[in-house]
Structure 1
Amino acid sequence: MTTRQRHPITPVMHPTLVHDFYEPDEVEALFGIVRRHAPWKLVLAHHFKSTEEYLAVSGGAGVDPAEVSLSDFIAPVFRDYLAEEGVVFYPEVHDLYFSKKLLDPVKEMHGAKYGLALHMLFNTGVPSHSFDAGHFDSANWRGCSIVNTPIWLLSVMAKSGLFDHWAVKTGQMITYFYNSDIDGGFTYWPDGPDLPPRRFKAPFDNTCILSDNSKMYHRRESNGPAHQRDHPDIRLESLLHSEDPDHWVVRNGDREIARYRDRDMRTLFHYTALVFDELSDVRTYLDRTDDLTHEKVFEVLVHDLRRRGVKFTEPTDPMTDPEFIALLNKTYEMAPREYPAAAPPAVRGAA
C-alpha cells in the first residue's frame, strides 16, 4: 500500500478556530480605522490589471479569458492595509501588529523558532454573491513577495512547484465578524484541491482562524440576503464610503449605487507572519544572498515550458504579456474539484 503523494497546495495543518480573539478595545481600534479612514477600494482593483492575471489566482480552471472580462469577477468586497513589511500605517494597531498574540500561534503551527510580522489588512464586504471558485494567498519567496511581484506571478510560482528552494513559510490569523447565519461561511480544502472541502459556518463574532492560507485553497461564501446580492452597477473604480456610525455607501464617483447598515457587513482582519526554523534561515532571508529575481523566475518557467514540450514564443515583457500569462495559467492549471452542496460558487447570470 502506497501513501498518497502530498499535493503542492496543502497546508502544514488543518486550520483551527479561536473564539473571542480580540479584546474589546482592540476591536474598537480596528473598526475605528475602517470607519474613519474610508473610502476604500475593491480588492480586485488593488491587485489585478487583466482577466489573465485574475484567472492565474482564481480557481476557475478551464475558463477562456477571451470569453470573459475582469469586470465579470467583481465582488463588492473592499480592502486596505493596516501595516505592511514592518511599517504600521495606523498607530492604533502598532502594539497589536507586533504582538506575541498574533505571531506566536503562527510560529507554533510550523514548529518554528523565529518569526516576523508581515502584513495586516482588512476586507469588508456588503451582501453579495461569491464568484470565487477557490484561491490561495500569495506565498513568499526570498526576493519575491507581494510588495514587488504581481499576485498572478506568485500564484503561478506556487502551482509550478519549481521554487521551493527559495520559499519562506507563512501563516495567517484571520478574524471574522459577520453576525448572521445567512450563508457567509468559509470553505477550505485542507487536504488539497483534489479532495473534498470543509467549511466553517457563520455566524462569526470575533472568530479567528489560524491557517496556512498560502498552502490551502479557500474561498469566501456568498453572504447576505439573496435579494441584495446582485450589483449590476459595480465598477472597478467603485468605492466604499462611511456615511455615519451606522451606514455604508457604495459610490461610483458622486453617484450612490447602494447603501447598507453596519449589521449587513461581513468583515475580516487578516494578519500574516513569516516564520523560520533556524537562525541560519533568518540570516539568509535578511542578507539577500540567495534571492530570486524576476529574471530568474521567468528563466526557470521558460526552461520548464520547453522541458514539457510546450510550444510558445518567448515574450519581450513576460510580466504583462496576456498570451504568455494565459499560457502559464493553462500549463500549471489547478483548481478545487468539488464544493459543499450548501455553498457552491455563484454563477454569473444564473437565475
Structure 2
Amino acid sequence: MVVGLVPSMPPVMMSDIFTDEQNENLFWILRNRGPWKLLVAQYFKNAAQLNATTGGKSADAGGALDLRPTFRGFFARNGVVYEEGAHDSFYSKKLLDSVKSLHGAEYAVPFLFQFNIAGPATADGSAHFDGRSWRGMDPMNTPPWLMSVMARSGLFERWEVQAGQVISYYYRSSIDGGFTYWPDGPDEAASHIAAPFWNNGLVTDNQHMFHRGESSGPLHRRNNLSGATMETVIEAESGGWAVRDADKTLDVYTEDEIRVLFHYDAHVFRGMDELRVYFDHKDDLKIDQVLEMLIADVRSRGVKIDDPSDPMNDPEFISALSNPYAIQPSTKWPVD
C-alpha cells in the first residue's frame, strides 16, 4: 500500500447530483460566459511541470506540452461564487452532507467548483490525483506540480486539510468516455465506470486516489485538433462548440462529441479545534519552507540537486525534485 495515495473511503456512486434547474443554470454559464482556455495552458509552462503532476519520471524536462482539447473554467473559487446561477449548487446542503459523510466529518466548507469541456481525444496513458490542500497552501495558490510532489513525498501530512469531491459527468455517447480509478491504491487493481453519463458520478476523495478520464468521442475525431497554442479557447455557438485561436477556427464539436465534467470540492474538519487552526492560520506552510524540506529530503537520498534560481519554472530543477518520488499505477488499464 502506498501511504497517502489511498482514499480515506472508497468512492460512492451518486445519481441526479444537481436538480434540473441547477443544471440549466450551470450549462447557461458554460454557453454564455466563455470563451474558456485550455486546461494545460492555465497550469503548466513546460513538460517537466506536467510530468511532475502525473507522477511519472521526466525523461525530457524541456519537452513541449501536449495541447489536448480539454478546456477549463470556474463557477467558484476560494469560497467565492463567480456567477449567480452557480450559487445554489455551490452551497448545496446535499453536496456538503455527501462530502462530510464520506469523511465522517463534523464541518464542511465549500472551496472550489470548476468544470472541464473536453473534445474528442485519446487518453494520454497516465493517471493523476487532484491537487491537495495543506494549511497555507492549496490549489488556489500552489502550482499543481508542486502539490503533487508534496503529496508523493509524504513529508507534509501533519499540515494536510482533508477534502472531498463530487464529480458529475455529462456525456451521452457510449463510445468509450468512462472513468478509471484506483480505490485501493496504485499497486492494486483499477476500477472502471462506463459511459454514458448524465448528471451522475462519484462522491470521492480524488486528492488521495489516482484516476483518469478515458478516451472519448468518435474514433475518427480524436486528437484531430491541429494548430493549437496556449491561447486556444473554446466557446459555444449555435448547435455546438467552436475551438478558436485568434481569428482562426480550428475545429467545431457537436454537443454529442463533447464530455463535460463538473468538479465540486469542499474542505472538511473533524471538529472546531481543527477548523480554527485552519482559518486562524496558526500553523501554515510557506513555499520556501516546503522547498527547503523537499530539497533536503532529496539530497538525503543521494540525489544531486542544485539550488534553483527560478524554482517554480526551471524544468531541470522540477524534474530533479519530482523524480525521486515518481509513481504511477502499476496495473493495466481496464480499457483503452
User: Which band: TM-score by shorter chain?
Assistant: over 0.9
Residue 19 in structure 1 maps to residue 50 in structure 2: no
Aligned to 1:335: 328
Equivalents in 2 of 1:118, 1:237: separation in Å?
Answer: 27
Equivalents in 2 of 1:151, 1:237: separation in Å?
Answer: 20
Aligned to 2:108: 115
The answer to whether the 8 A contact 1:75-1:129 is kept is no
Alignment of 1:136-285 (within 5 A): 136-230=129-223, 231-244=225-238, 246-285=239-278
The answer to whether the 8 A contact 1:42-1:238 is kept is yes
Letter in structure 2 aligned against 1:36: N
Change (3 A) 1:144 1:159: same
Alignment of 1:122-137 (within 5 A): 122-137=115-130
Deviation, structure 1 residue 161? 0.3
Letter in structure 1 aligned against 2:59: D
Which of 26, 42, 48 is residue 46 of structure 1 equivalent to?
A: 42
The answer to whether the 8 A contact 1:276-1:282 is kept is yes
The answer to whether the 8 A contact 1:122-1:268 is kept is yes
Please state whether the residue corresponding to 2:273 is helix, strand or coil: helix
Please state whether the residue corresponding to 1:248 is helix, strand or coil: strand
Please state whether the residue corresponding to 1:22 is helix, strand or coil: coil
Change (3 A) 1:43 1:309: same
Equivalents in 1 of 2:200, 2:242: separation in Å?
Answer: 26
* Structure-2-length-normalised TM-score: 0.96
The answer to whether the 8 A contact 1:58-1:132 is kept is no
Equivalents in 2 of 1:38, 1:6: separation in Å?
Answer: 40
Deviation, structure 1 residue 95? 2.0
The answer to whether the 8 A contact 1:132-1:219 is kept is no
Please state whether the residue corresponding to 1:311 is helix, strand or coil: coil
Letter in structure 2 aligned against 1:57: T
Alignment of 1:32-111 (within 5 A): 32-59=28-55, 61-66=56-61, 68-70=63-65, 73-111=66-104
Deviates more, 1:119-128 or 1:311-320: 311-320
Residue 29 in structure 1 maps to residue 25 in structure 2: yes
Change (3 A) 1:312 1:6: closer
The answer to whether the 8 A contact 2:45-2:313 is kept is no
Equivalents in 1 of 2:2, 2:130: separation in Å?
Answer: 19
The answer to whether the 8 A contact 2:49-2:145 is kept is yes
Equivalents in 2 of 1:121, 1:333: separation in Å?
Answer: 27
Equivalents in 2 of 1:82, 1:127: separation in Å?
Answer: 23
Equivalents in 2 of 1:325, 1:62: separation in Å?
Answer: 11
Letter in structure 2 aligned against 1:300: M
* Structure-1-length-normalised TM-score: 0.92
The answer to whether the 8 A contact 2:164-2:266 is kept is yes
The answer to whether the 8 A contact 2:58-2:319 is kept is no
The answer to whether the 8 A contact 1:75-1:130 is kept is no
Deviates more, 1:149-158 or 1:233-242: 233-242
Which of 276, 300, 307 is residue 314 of structure 1 equivalent to?
A: 307
Deviation, structure 1 residue 8? 2.2
- Write out per-residue CA displacement over residues 197-243 of structure 1, whole angstroms, 9 at most, x where no aligned residue: 11111000111311100000000101011100022333222110211
Letter in structure 2 aligned against 1:48: F
Equivalents in 2 of 1:74, 1:6: separation in Å?
Answer: 31
How many aligned residue pairs are there?
A: 335
Deviation, structure 1 residue 309? 2.0
Q: Which structure 1 residue ranges, 5 or more long, are not aligned?
A: 344-351
Deviation, structure 1 residue 66? 4.4
Change (3 A) 1:341 1:273: closer
Deviation, structure 1 residue 67? 7.2
The answer to whether the 8 A contact 1:176-1:205 is kept is yes
Aligned to 1:348: none
Percent of aligned pairs with the same residue?
Answer: 42
Equivalents in 2 of 1:112, 1:291: separation in Å?
Answer: 21
Q: Which structure 2 residue ranges, 5 or more long, are not aligned?
A: none
Equivalents in 2 of 1:321, 1:224: separation in Å?
Answer: 35
Change (3 A) 1:6 1:306: closer
Letter in structure 2 aligned against 1:45: A
Letter in structure 1 aligned against 2:120: P
Deviation, structure 1 residue 295? 1.1
- Write out per-residue CA displacement over residues 256-282 of structure 1, whole angstroms, 9 at most, x where no aligned residue: 111111122100111000001111000
Equivalents in 2 of 1:319, 1:38: separation in Å?
Answer: 29
Alignment root-mean-square deviation, CA: 1.4
- Write out per-residue CA displacement over residues 277-297 of structure 1, whole angstroms, 9 at most, x where no aligned residue: 111000000111100011110
